[in-house]
Amino acid sequence: MKINVSNIKKAVKYLNNNECVGIPTETVYGLAANAYSDKATKRIFKLKGRPVDNPLIVHYFNIKDLERDCETNTLFYKLYNSLCPGPITFILKLKNKSKISKNVTNNKKTLGVRFPNHRVARILLKSLKYPLAAPSANISKGISPVTKDDVYDEFGEKIKFILEGGRSKVGVESTIISLVKKPHILRLGGLDISILNKKLKINLKTKLHAKSNINSPGRGRIHYSPGIPIRLNAVKIKKDEAFILIKKKKENNKNYFYLSKTNNLMESAKNLYKTLRKIKKLGYKKIAVQRIPNQNFGLVVNDRLFRASRK
Ligand code: TXA
Ligand code: MG
């Protein structure tokens, strides 16, 4: 993708002015603002309708910048060196002298940090004198955006600028690992847990449903919701349902929507939000989903669909 320098300069100008800007990352688009500014970060919560006790992830250009705000440890360095920039968020201890706005953490002593692997995002981060707080650029509880147009769909003219960066390659949010005490996963996402298990020579749990997520406040009951009922593990569709599939069916049907035609779970994760958004736009009132194997990226797809399906 060709880099549009004047667009990046525009984004810098808005951000320096405490405005929120839509930014591309490899996972999903973010709603970014100066993480050191109370005024800018407050705007993120207001625009998203996000509860103030749900902390934001902060995006850094590199480890040197991060060391000003967070305590690091050997495990962190190990993972940073082999996986960053990439679709992983680390929960670390905040330094006492950190400049991160209290709004970001809701006064807590830990911070979620990430180094996005997207050229536009990296050039932007390098051009700034502060890191960027950025939750996914959707109204609270909704579907994360994977293109500039999706972000516009969510906020319209309410945000001043959205930086173009093509379609997000990963298509689901970052994997979150807490390194504050014993390492554990808080959210399944774009980085396969088996890679982490190999690096750390441990066995991180992937069963995160329901109650086990209390430490990540954003793991609320309903999330990633297209706003219409979703029926999981469906074999056949009922009248008027949109059917989400991961494996090609012999017959054609206008109500079929493929995440993948070859049972490819990584491709399915990438296409999930795009497909949910499309189905909603087409005006369907109900969704049925074919059974998706609970392994690798299938775990992520099932996690999101499970939350999206709750009433
Ligand atoms: O891929 C991503 O991570 C995207 C892109 C834009 O970077 N961001 C994203 O942010 O998904 P958000 O705000 O939609 O989800 C962040 C999740 C929330 O569930 C929040 O509760 C959790 O991370 N979180 C943030 N800081 C935390 C902390 N200090 N401790 C525990 N959970 C935290
Ligand atoms: Mg989100």
pLDDT in tens, 32-46: 999 999 999 999 999
279: phi then psi, degrees, rounded to nearest 5:
-60, -40
Testing ligand 1's pocket by substitution, the residue of 111, 176, 177, 215 carrying the most ligand atoms inside 8 A of its CB is 176
Q: Is the CB of 260 under 6 A from ligand 1?
A: no
- What is the value of pTM for the model shown? 0.96
When pLDDT is cut at 50, 70 and 90, the band that residue 214 belongs to is very low
Q: Give the residue from 154, 310, 129 showing the smallest Cα distance to 230.
A: 310
Q: Ligand 1 pocket: which of 66, 89, 187 to mutate (most atoms <8 Å of CB)? A: 89
Of 151, 199, 145, 144, nearest in space to 177 by CA: 199
The CATH number of 5-206, from 3.90.550.10, 3.90.870.10, 3.20.20.70, 1.20.1440.230, is 3.90.870.10
Distance between CA atoms of 33 and 44, rounded to whole angstroms?
7
**pLDDT tens column, 99-131:** 999 999 999 999 999 999 999 999 999 999 999
Q: Which atom of ligand 1 is nearest to the CA of 170?
A: 1
Cβ(220) – ligand 1 distance below 6 Å:
no
The domains of the chain are located at: 5-206, 230-309
Pairing of β 286-290 and β 230-234: parallel
CA of 172 to the centre of ligand 2 (A): 10
Condensed to tens digits (0 to 9), the pLDDT of residues 85-103 reads 999 999 999 999 999 999 9
Q: Which of 24, 25, 44 is nearest to 33 (CA)?
A: 44
Count Cβ atoms below 10 Å from residue 218 Cβ, excluding itself.
Answer: 22
Check pocket membership of 300 for ligand 1, CB cut-off 6 A. Answer: no
Ligand closest to the CA atom of residue 217: 1
At 164, list the tokens. Answer: 């173009």
Q: Tell me which residue of 115, 114, 119, 224 sits closest to 166, measured CA to CA.
A: 119
Q: Look at residue 271 and tell me whether its pLDDT is greater than 80.
A: yes
Q: How far does the centroid of ligand 2 lie from the alpha carbon of residue 239, in Å?
A: 32
Per-residue burial over 119-156, b = 16 or more CB atoms within 10 Å of its CB, e = otherwise = ebbbbbbeebebbbbbbbbbebbbbbbbbbebbbbbbe
Mark 254-273 as b/e (b = at least 16 C-beta within 10 Å).
Answer: ebebbbbeeeebbbbbbbbb
Q: Are strands 256-258 and 175-178 parallel, antiparallel or unpaired?
A: unpaired
Q: What is the mean pLDDT of residues 228-249?
A: 94
CA–CA separation, 69 and 100 (whole Å) = 7
Determine whether 235 is exposed, middle or buried from the number of CB atoms within 10 Å of its CB (0-12, 13-18, 19+): exposed
**What is the pLDDT confidence band of residue 201, given thresholds at 50, 70 and 90?**
confident
CATH of 230-309, one of 3.40.50, 3.30.300, 1.10.3470, 1.10.260: 3.40.50
Of 90, 125, 162, 216, best ligand 1 pocket probe by most atoms within 8 Å of the beta carbon: 216
